[in-house]
Chain A
């Protein structure tokens, strides 16, 4: 049995598992981004020119795509986190598929808004 078929075996093809997987992946992406973000901000300490030259990198299309990914990941992570909080602290029980779909739609929508505002 391959790793993929084992990971996505029949008993895991459920909205709850999908939600947890997306939550984890977006969380890891954000965790990797944060130190880079602080480095970027840190360049301001050595003068406006350094920060400005670093910010020039963001004009690069590859960085733009990465930014879009990060914004989507942040929105998705937040929406899925709200779902977990609703289950754990509000005792929300039903409609797993609906809430997970809404969380994913929210992530995509925020990503699209970011793309449109960047264009």
Chain B
């Protein structure tokens, strides 16, 4: 069905959905589904897959904004589809759904997230306990600056929205990206972590925090309202501080 023919039905409470089909060289296919109250974008995709075309590939798990697997480009903007109501997407009656940018498309709306998670590892985005376990529990005051800085970024659900929105990733595919650097920043502020030297080395190179241009797309689009731009700024400050200390 053409978009024009389908949009004529909007008045009848129908929703026109243009869905990306295929891999990188695919095309949009248009579906028409019923409009329902409080319908989310993920509800629409599920309806298309169950009622119209069972071959549609997409990814979801929890449906409540915890697992981070259902992110897509909705009307040009990266979003978590399970917590995005159709009514809030801006374009009345028409929904355009594409797979996340900056990651290879597997099929339709599903992308290969491997590079995203590999970079998480490359940025040393994991806790490093050191060679021997600590003698006692670390005392971390909830209102200490380090704890607050870690708290600000620790709720990431790995959805890939920031990575998809990042212009630096699209220009330099090796750039570690906002999510991995945000995770590294939470660990830089973890007083128990013993792997800071390797982490600072990993994030201060050519593909690390200093490549960020502060476009702030990651912060604009993060569905959890985190601020990866500011986490990356924190890493820039920390690397500058360490370079200064080494010199003096």
Within 8 A of B (CB), among A1-36: 9-12, 14-17, 19-20
The reply to whether B215 and A16 form a contact with Cβ atoms under 8 Å apart is: yes
Residue A87, interface by CB 8 Å: yes
Residue A43, interface by CB 8 Å: no
The reply to whether A93 and B227 form a contact with Cβ atoms under 8 Å apart is: yes
Task: Give the B interface residue count (CB, 8 A).
Answer: 23
Residue B107, interface by CB 8 Å: no
Name the segment of B16-24, B40-48, B216-224 touching the other chain: B216-224
Contact of A89 among B73, B215, B217, B237 (CB under 8 A): B237
Contact of B167 among A10, A12, A19, A89 (CB under 8 A): A12
The reply to whether A88 and B216 form a contact with Cβ atoms under 8 Å apart is: no
Interface residues as binary, A87-105 with B (CB distance below 8 Å gives 1, 0 otherwise)? 1110101001000000000
The reply to whether B214 and A20 form a contact with Cβ atoms under 8 Å apart is: yes
The reply to whether A16 and B78 form a contact with Cβ atoms under 8 Å apart is: no
Name the segment of B62-70, B133-141, B228-236 touching the other chain: B228-236
The reply to whether B237 and A88 form a contact with Cβ atoms under 8 Å apart is: yes
Given A17-B217, A20-B214, A93:B78 Cβ within 8 A? no
The reply to whether A11 and B234 form a contact with Cβ atoms under 8 Å apart is: no
The reply to whether A14 and B220 form a contact with Cβ atoms under 8 Å apart is: yes
The reply to whether B76 and A16 form a contact with Cβ atoms under 8 Å apart is: no
Residue A70, interface by CB 8 Å: no
Set of chain A residues within 8 Å of B75, measured between Cβ atoms:
10
**Closest approach, in angstroms, between the C-beta of B200 and any C-beta of chain A?**
16
Residue A51, interface by CB 8 Å: no
For B79, the closest partner residue in chain A by CB is A11
The reply to whether B220 and A91 form a contact with Cβ atoms under 8 Å apart is: no
A-B contact pairs, 13 of them (CB 8 A): A10-B76, A11-B77, A11-B78, A11-B217, A11-B221, A14-B215, A14-B220, A16-B214, A20-B215, A87-B233, A88-B237, A91-B233, A93-B227
Going nearest first, the 4 A-B pairs with the smallest beta carbon separation are: A10-B76, A16-B216, A88-B233, A16-B215
